[in-house]
Structure 1
Amino acid sequence: MAYVILKALAPIFVIMFLGFFAGKRGMVDNKNVALLNIFVMDFALPAALFSATVQTPWNAIVQQWYLIVILAVSMWIIFAAIYFLSTNVFKKPAKEAAVLTLTVALPNYAALGLPILGSVIGENTGVSLSVAISIACGSVLLTPLCLLILEREKARENGTVSGSSLAMLPILAWRSVTKPIVWGPLLGVVLSAVGIKMPEIVLLAIKPLGLAATASALFLTGLILSARTLKVNFVVSVSSITKLVIQPILAWGMVLLLGLHGDLAITAVLMLALSAGFFGVVFGNRFGVQSADAEATLLISSILCIVTLPVFITLTAGL
């Protein structure tokens, strides 16, 4: 099983290394990555997320509402806990705390979900559907929270919006919703809910963008990391443990509370046992926010999940 996980992680490390190598060798300017960030955040990832959500049948989504509840609640609890610790205990600025929080709370569904679930449960349409639902949950129910915080801090710095967070909420919510990374998957969910099927020619037209999404995001992450000095500290240790141990245990507790078993229970736990995702680092870069702790957590959790994932895979065998 460790080999299967290592094989699933190999593309992540290889592509991130290529971005890291390109940045270190000066082949790509690792200080100015705005153009690549625009491609990833405004085109590639929105296209991939839209394709995943619009092709997910609404009745199938409704049938897996238990999975949606577990994923959403687990991610929200971790998001709230890490953000509170970051701002009140670790004394991080709000925008840096938001980047770290999203990195910890949002697992790497996009890159690891399918290979890990496929090796445990078996490659079938049910597994693909579960991964698509997981991606949709993260992009629609979690990433806007990070965007709201980043937009709030940006507005305060620019002096364009002032007042309490509650008073700023309508404007900030609108700014977040108008970003392709949010409205792309959200539009897919809405179209699926009302039963509108995208013409095949449209899906074929954006398919290359979707295929490039994960690779370009990982390359960009490696490029960003090449400009930093990674340090493992107490914050990184807490973040990594929270991601790899506490979050899946939280999901496990909800599985037991709801009395779930079988593939659905296994999927819920393993999806949240995946390593940290790259969204936080990429989001932060788009807003000019550098979080060394988020970057180190991304790398450390990706390495350590080679150890923790087999443990949870073994433990969930009895569910």
Structure 2
Amino acid sequence: MTYVIIHALTPIFVIMLLGFWAGKAKMVDNKNVSLLNIFVMDFALPAALFSATARTPWSGIVDQWSLIVVLTLSMWIAYGAIYLISTKVFKKSAQDSAVLTLTVALPNFAALGLPILGSVFGSSSSTSLAVAVSIACGSVLMTPFCLLILEREKSRAAGTIQGNGLSLLPVLMWRSLKKPIVLGPLLGVILSAIGIHVPALVLHAIKPMGIAATGAALFLTGVILSARTLKINKTVIVACLTKNLIQPFIAWGLIIAFGISPSVAVTAILMIALSAGFFGVVFGNRFGVQSPDAEATLLLSSALSIITLPLFISMTSGMIH
């Protein structure tokens, strides 16, 4: 099992290392990655997320309601807790905290979901459906939180928006919804819900863009990291402990509270137990926000998952036998 996990994580480290090397060798300008960021955030990832959600049958999404509830609540609880700790205890800025908390709360569903679930349940349509639902939950129900905070702080700094609290919410929500990274998966979910099937030719046309999404995002992350000096501090330690240990136990507690079936329970726990995702770092860079803590958390969480993922796979193995 450890081999399977290392096999799944290897492409992540290799592609990030290639991006890191390209930045350090000045093959890519690691101080100015706006063009690559636009490709990843406005084209590649939205295309991948749209394809994943549009091809997911609405009946399948509805049938996965218990998985959606556990995943969403686990991510929201972790997000709220880390955001409060980051801003109130460690006195980080709202933008820095937003990037860090998305890195912690949103697992790396896109890169690790299929390899890990496939190793436990085998490759099947139900496994693919569970991963697609997980990606939809993260992209539609999680990323807007980060975007709202980043949009709010950016607008306040530019003096283009005034006020506090709920009065800002409609404007900020609209700005977030217009972002391709949110609009792509949301449009896919809407089309699935109303029963409109996207023509196969359309999905075929954007398939190469979707295939490039994860690789491009990881390469971009490596380039971004090449311009930073990574440091392990209290914030990073708390973030990694939350991501790799506490958040999966939060999911486990929700499963016990709701009395969820064993197969769904194992899927939910293992998906939440995946290492930190790269969305937060990439989002932050798009808004000009550098979060060294998020970057260090991304790397350390990925490394630690070589230990923590086998732990949770072993702990949940008795549920499905």
**Which TM-score band applies after superposition, normalised by the shorter structure?**
over 0.9
Question: Cα distance, 1:263 vs. partner?
Answer: 2.1
Question: Cα distance, 1:265 vs. partner?
Answer: 1.0
Equivalent residues in 2 for 1:196-211 (5 A)? 196-211=196-211
1:243 matched residue in structure 2: 243
1:176 matched residue in structure 2: 176
1:10 matched residue in structure 2: 10
1:59 matched residue in structure 2: 59
8 A Cα contact 1:121 1:263, kept in partner: no
Residues 1:49 and 2:49 aligned together: yes
Question: Cα distance, 1:264 vs. partner?
Answer: 1.1
2:97 matched residue in structure 1: 97
| Partner deviation per Cα, 1:191-239 (whole Å, 9 max, x = no partner) | 0000000001000000000000000000000000000000000000000
1:123 matched residue in structure 2: 123
Question: Cα distance, 1:100 vs. partner?
Answer: 0.3
Q: Secondary structure at the match of 2:289?
A: coil
Amino acid in the other structure paired with 2:24: K
| Partner deviation per Cα, 1:95-135 (whole Å, 9 max, x = no partner) | 01000010000000000000000001111000000000000
1:71 matched residue in structure 2: 71
Q: Within 2, Cα distance between the matches of 1:35 and 1:70?
A: 36
Q: Within 2, Cα distance between the matches of 1:261 and 1:94?
A: 38
1:163 matched residue in structure 2: 163
Amino acid in the other structure paired with 2:145: L
Question: Cα distance, 1:261 vs. partner?
Answer: 3.2
Tell me the TM-score normalised to structure 1 length: 0.99
Amino acid in the other structure paired with 1:163: G
Q: Within 2, Cα distance between the matches of 1:278 and 1:101?
A: 11
Total equivalences in the alignment: 319
Q: Within 2, Cα distance between the matches of 1:93 and 1:165?
A: 17
Amino acid in the other structure paired with 1:130: A
Question: Cα distance, 1:285 vs. partner?
Answer: 0.0
2:153 matched residue in structure 1: 153
Equivalent residues in 2 for 1:267-306 (5 A)? 267-306=267-306
Q: Secondary structure at the match of 2:3?
A: helix
Equivalent residues in 2 for 1:190-229 (5 A)? 190-229=190-229
Question: Cα distance, 1:272 vs. partner?
Answer: 0.3
Q: Structure 1: give runs of 5+ residues left out of the alignment.
A: none
What value does the CA root-mean-square deviation take over the aligned residues? 0.6
Q: Secondary structure at the match of 1:21?
A: helix
2:231 matched residue in structure 1: 231
Taking only the aligned residue pairs, the percentage that are identical comes to 69
Q: Structure 2: give runs of 5+ residues left out of the alignment.
A: none
Question: Cα distance, 1:166 vs. partner?
Answer: 1.4
Question: Cα distance, 1:15 vs. partner?
Answer: 0.3
Tell me the TM-score normalised to structure 2 length: 0.99
Amino acid in the other structure paired with 1:177: L
Q: Secondary structure at the match of 2:47?
A: helix
Residues 1:81 and 2:81 aligned together: yes
Q: Within 1, Cα distance between the matches of 2:312 and 2:258?
A: 19
Q: Secondary structure at the match of 2:231?
A: coil
Residues 1:139 and 2:134 aligned together: no
| Partner deviation per Cα, 1:136-173 (whole Å, 9 max, x = no partner) | 00000000010000000000000000111311111111
Question: Cα distance, 1:189 vs. partner?
Answer: 0.2
Amino acid in the other structure paired with 2:298: L
Q: Within 1, Cα distance between the matches of 2:229 and 2:158?
A: 29
Amino acid in the other structure paired with 1:284: G
Q: Within 2, Cα distance between the matches of 1:178 and 1:165?
A: 21
